[in-house]
Chain A
Amino acid sequence: MAATHATAAANTTFSSKCSLHPSPSLCPKPPINLNFSLLFPAKSNGPHHTPLRITCNAISRPHSPASTTSSITPAGTSDTFISRFAVDEPRKGSDVLVEALEREGVTTVFAYPGGASMEIHQALTRSTRIRNVLPRHEQGGVFAAEGYARASGRPGVCIATSGPGATNLVSGLADAMLDSIPIVAITGQVPRRMIGTDAFQETPIVEVTRSITKHNYLVLDVEDIPRVVREAFYLATSGRPGPILIDIPKDIQQQLVVPDWNQPIRLPGYVDRLPKLPDEKHLEQIVRLVSEAKKPVLYVGGGCLNSSEELRRFVELTGIPVASTLMGLGAYPCNDDLSLQMLGMHGTVYANYAVDKCDLLLAFGVRFDDRVTGKLEAFASRAKIVHIDIDAAEIGKNKQPHVSVCADMKLALEGMNKLLEEKGNKLKLDFLAWRQELQEQKVKHPLTFKTFGDAIPPQYAIKVLDELTSGNAIISTGVGQHQMWAAQFYKYKRPRQWLTSGGLGAMGFGLPAAMGAVVARPDAVVVDIDGDGSFVMNVQELATIKVENLPVKIMLLNNQHLGMVVQLEDRFYKANRAHTYLGNPSKESEIFPNMLKFAEACGIPAARVTKEEELREAIQKMLDTPGPYLLDVIVPHQEHVLPMIPSGGAFADTINEGDGRSQF
């Protein structure tokens, strides 16, 4: 095992066991400072970054600022970080924690105070570098941290107190786990001597979140805090990113200590197991398969969000059409000719057709989720499957690939692009016939919607939004029909524009995530396309966006029903309404609840629009008004998301017709 606890001064012969990108100018030199290829490049604003000092044998390489590999440490050493405290000054554990966060380059946290985390909040007030955006519910805080992470690529940080505060984080952590979003959640805990005694506001949150976090910590020694925070950020961002929880008891937060900032992280097995550079031979083989295929399709997902440029180059070199999953929307621009948009249960007919008929499926950064594959045996049944993913456990989990590579997508694509450029003309890749076949399908089965009278079709509302924002806005959604329409009808041009709860499908995600996105990208236009069901789940965050002056535009597609469930009821349960009407049954003609009053209660300007001809103007007004804005768009509830492949179905079972107005 390469994992030995070598100190920084060790100058031994190294073996290249750790994950790194060997550059031509390799030279072993002490101290062991490593730049790791990470999925989430940290383009942070802070000038103070500590390089990761990791205890394992490795070849060190010089810092390469803004190189092709994504590195978490730009040029900057721990010496340049100027602490508020003198070197020998003892300070509280909470101050150590806050300084550790500052050293990781954190500039914003989403923290909600409580008895067990008060010390941390007090320390935050003493910090000049970290700003706290106070949510009104811990779930809003963790979703906001997710929105921040999804929009920027940097890890989001949220803080909650013990007991109920910590348990309110559970949905957000599960969501981050399923969608592989880097989050560091910090929770307070009762003092160490009271752990296990059913104390006031005590929950064993480490036990509770064990299977929904990538890793979690219960800090039992105040000296561990710098190392644990460093490890947490490293784990959250390296390999397959995920949520990390740090549980800190109150007495440790209050204990005085002189911290040691130079503690190396102790993750020898993990570091060794990080994926290495993809092997040339495998990439060559994939390129060879591409050249032999007649009908290849690219199936890209969340794993490609950091390699959008390389993916574009790959498509340029090969001319292979691209079908994207819900998480991967934007990795390849949706308005391009070669984009088949979304595939899967509510994906376009031509994307599912392409995957069904293809003879080579290039699965890049995906996990063959059941929403995409439907019936596994029938999915891509005629194709050779090439699967590239950073997580070895995903390869072969659902669908057995013929060729697989466990590597970072960026590096794999770079390697393949290089091979393609070298071979270039010799390969003669020509998929024109295949592309034409797909173009026919695009013309035969486009995404459509019908208009009834002057009622606003929700799909049309999203299209208008797309036009008026030129496809450049950051869109966050709740979960349901509006989410699917936002995925289908808004053409995303770049990655990290589309924020949605994919794997978990957590309602109430839209508004807090938009909040986090605004904090991460203050210059961008952020629109929350929400449904009336999802909106009220985290409606309290309206207070936050007003107070913090976060210009979140909320476009609420209000159909008074729980749309997606209504659709399933219409199709499969003979339209028997089972608790899916969200309005007031005694006054059905009125819009209930009156969303405008929610906005008024928080001092946010709002408007309602019911007629199609007034829509464009209303949306324009929403975009033009500075600050937060709520637009209540009343839409009919009989609309169905089409096309639809029922759960567990195959491409042949695609439903492309009908809505709530007809009988099934």
Chain B
Amino acid sequence: MASASPSSFKAARMEQFPRCLRRTPAILPQKLNLSQSQSWRWRWNSSACTTAARSNNNAPHPSNSIPVPVVAPSRSASASRVKRHTISVFVGDESGIINRIAGVISRRGYNIESLAVGLNKDKALFTIVVSGTEKVLQQVVEQLNKLVHVWKVEDLSREPQVERELMLVKLHADPSTRAEIMWLVDIFRAKTVDISENLLTIEVTASMRHLFLQSLLL
């Protein structure tokens, strides 16, 4: 699965956060403008604003120069919803790094839904899909950050992104059914990549796969 952030997408709330933050989530620079209603929880809690925003004990608000954002009432609800998160981990290569990363995630009891690795000489980029709540995700990111050879961990689900799924299907297609299959392939803008006597290989991308699969199975 490939992800990318197109520049044409309307600026999402997360673009407000400077890159340097992600390395040390617990410390926020003071100049941050937290007027957005939905901030990342893991920075949220460690920020100076949190005292003011989350104080629910009628304690006096400490006076500070940081603008106090309004806590969106739906935030706690969304925080406990299970979602699929895409994490990108950039590591310096070493033997067994895949094991390490998978180990860190499973040791904490979280499940990897999918994992894609791109290797380049001595560096590797992992794209991992983990499903869980916000808290789970925060923990996963923090634990990955503790690994010595990891250079950078990013949560891509927050950013504007483009996702594609690619499926290669090998079908039994004798001459009688072949025409029909090729007609279906045409409709769904899939591509035939290989053909032999009674086999047909089809490539499908994007998210139309549900309908296509169903019809194919018929």
Residues on A lying within 8 angstroms of B by beta carbon are 1, 3, 206-207, 210-211, 214-215, 218, 220, 235, 266-270, 272-273, 275-276, 278-279, 281-282, 285, 288-289, 292, 359, 382, 384, 391-393, 395-397, 400-407
User: Which residue of chain B is the closest to A215 with respect to CB atoms?
Assistant: B148
A392 to B142: give the CA distance in the assembly, Å: 7
Given contacts A211-B104, A215-B148, 16 further A-B contacts (CB under 8 A): A211-B103, A215-B147, A220-B95, A269-B152, A281-B30, A281-B64, A292-B60, A392-B145, A393-B143, A393-B146, A400-B45, A403-B50, A404-B26, A405-B26, A406-B26, A406-B46
A267 to B91: give the CA distance in the assembly, Å: 11
Judge whether A406 and B24 touch: CB under 8 Å: yes
Which residues of chain B are near A393, meaning CB under 8 Å?
139, 142-143, 145-146
Which residues of chain A are near B26, meaning CB under 8 Å?
392, 395, 404-406
A403 to B23: give the CA distance in the assembly, Å: 18
Which residues of chain A are near B135, meaning CB under 8 Å?
396
Contact with A along B141-155 (1 / 0, CB 8 A): 011011111111000
List of 8 A-B pairs having minimum Cβ-Cβ separation, nearest first: A406-B26, A393-B142, A269-B151, A404-B46, A215-B148, A211-B107, A270-B148, A392-B26
Which residues of chain B are near A273, meaning CB under 8 Å?
23-24, 145
With a 10 A CB-CB cut-off, give which of A215, A267, A278, A405 has the most chain B CB atoms. Answer: A215
Judge whether B30 and A396 touch: CB under 8 Å: no
Which residues of chain B are near A403, meaning CB under 8 Å?
46, 48, 50-51
Contact with A along B61-98 (1 / 0, CB 8 A): 01010000000000000000000000000011001100
Asked whether B12 is an interface residue with its Cβ less than 8 Å from the other chain, the reply is: no
Which residues of chain B are near A384, meaning CB under 8 Å?
51, 55, 57, 59
Residues on B lying within 8 angstroms of A by beta carbon are 23-27, 30, 42, 45-46, 48, 50-51, 54-55, 57, 59-60, 62, 64, 91-92, 95-96, 99-100, 103-104, 107, 135, 138-139, 142-143, 145-152
Which residues of chain B are near A391, meaning CB under 8 Å?
146
Judge whether B148 and A214 touch: CB under 8 Å: yes
Which residues of chain B are near A289, meaning CB under 8 Å?
51, 62
Which residues of chain A are near B23, meaning CB under 8 Å?
272-273
Judge whether B62 and A292 touch: CB under 8 Å: yes
Judge whether A405 and B92 touch: CB under 8 Å: no
A281 to B151: give the CA distance in the assembly, Å: 28
A376 to B60: give the CA distance in the assembly, Å: 25
A278 to B12: give the CA distance in the assembly, Å: 30
A332 to B48: give the CA distance in the assembly, Å: 28
A614 to B139: give the CA distance in the assembly, Å: 55
Which residues of chain B are near A207, meaning CB under 8 Å?
96, 99
Query: B87 CB to closest chain A CB, in angstroms?
Result: 15
Q: 28 A-B Cβ contacts within 8 A? A: A1-B151, A3-B151, A206-B96, A211-B104, A214-B148, A218-B96, A220-B95, A235-B148, A268-B151, A270-B148, A276-B24, A281-B64, A282-B27, A289-B51, A292-B60, A384-B57, A392-B26, A392-B142, A393-B139, A393-B142, A393-B146, A396-B42, A396-B138, A402-B50, A402-B51, A402-B55, A405-B46, A406-B26
Judge whether A285 and B142 touch: CB under 8 Å: no
Which residues of chain A are near B107, meaning CB under 8 Å?
211
A282 to B64: give the CA distance in the assembly, Å: 11
A292 to B51: give the CA distance in the assembly, Å: 13
A273 to B90: give the CA distance in the assembly, Å: 14
Judge whether A210 and B100 touch: CB under 8 Å: yes
Judge whether A397 and B139 touch: CB under 8 Å: yes
A214 to B30: give the CA distance in the assembly, Å: 32
A276 to B55: give the CA distance in the assembly, Å: 27
A220 to B148: give the CA distance in the assembly, Å: 19
Which residues of chain B are near A211, meaning CB under 8 Å?
103-104, 107
Given contacts A269-B150, A393-B145, A275 and B139 within 8 Å (CB-CB): no
Query: B130 CB to closest chain A CB, in angstroms?
Result: 16
Judge whether A285 and B59 touch: CB under 8 Å: no
Which residues of chain B are near A268, meaning CB under 8 Å?
92, 151
Judge whether A292 and B45 touch: CB under 8 Å: no
Partner of B48, one of A215, A282, A401: A282
Given contacts A276-B24, A285-B51, A288-B62, A401 and B46 within 8 Å (CB-CB): yes
A397 to B143: give the CA distance in the assembly, Å: 10
With a 10 A CB-CB cut-off, give which of A215, A282, A396 has the most chain B CB atoms. Answer: A396
Which residues of chain A are near B152, meaning CB under 8 Å?
1, 269
User: Which residue of chain A is the closest to B20 with respect to CB atoms?
Assistant: A17
Judge whether B149 and A269 touch: CB under 8 Å: yes
Judge whether B64 and A285 touch: CB under 8 Å: yes
User: Which residue of chain B is the closest to A217 with respect to CB atoms?
Assistant: B94
User: Which residue of chain B is the closest to A291 with respect to CB atoms?
Assistant: B62
Query: A276 CB to closest chain B CB, in angstroms?
Result: 7
Given contacts A282-B27, A402-B54, A210 and B103 within 8 Å (CB-CB): yes
A358 to B107: give the CA distance in the assembly, Å: 35
Query: A410 CB to closest chain B CB, in angstroms?
Result: 17
Judge whether B95 and A218 touch: CB under 8 Å: yes
A215 to B92: give the CA distance in the assembly, Å: 14
Which residues of chain B are near A396, meaning CB under 8 Å?
42, 45-46, 135, 138
A278 to B27: give the CA distance in the assembly, Å: 8
User: Which residue of chain A is the closest to B25 with respect to CB atoms?
Assistant: A392
Query: B98 CB to closest chain A CB, in angstroms?
Result: 12
User: Which residue of chain A is the closest to B62 with respect to CB atoms?
Assistant: A288
Query: A57 CB to closest chain B CB, in angstroms?
Result: 14
A46 to B126: give the CA distance in the assembly, Å: 43
Which residues of chain B are near A395, meaning CB under 8 Å?
26, 45-46
Judge whether A210 and B99 touch: CB under 8 Å: yes
User: Which residue of chain A is the closest to B92 with respect to CB atoms?
Assistant: A269
With a 10 A CB-CB cut-off, give which of A214, A220, A403 has the most chain B CB atoms. Answer: A403
With a 10 A CB-CB cut-off, give which of A267, A392, A407 has the most chain B CB atoms. Answer: A392
Query: B78 CB to closest chain A CB, in angstroms?
Result: 15
Query: A54 CB to closest chain B CB, in angstroms?
Result: 13
Which residues of chain A are near B146, meaning CB under 8 Å?
391, 393
A266 to B99: give the CA distance in the assembly, Å: 20
Which residues of chain B are near A275, meaning CB under 8 Å?
24
Judge whether A285 and B48 touch: CB under 8 Å: yes
User: Which residue of chain A is the closest to B64 with respect to CB atoms?
Assistant: A285
A560 to B55: give the CA distance in the assembly, Å: 52
Which residues of chain B are near A270, meaning CB under 8 Å?
148-149
A57 to B95: give the CA distance in the assembly, Å: 26
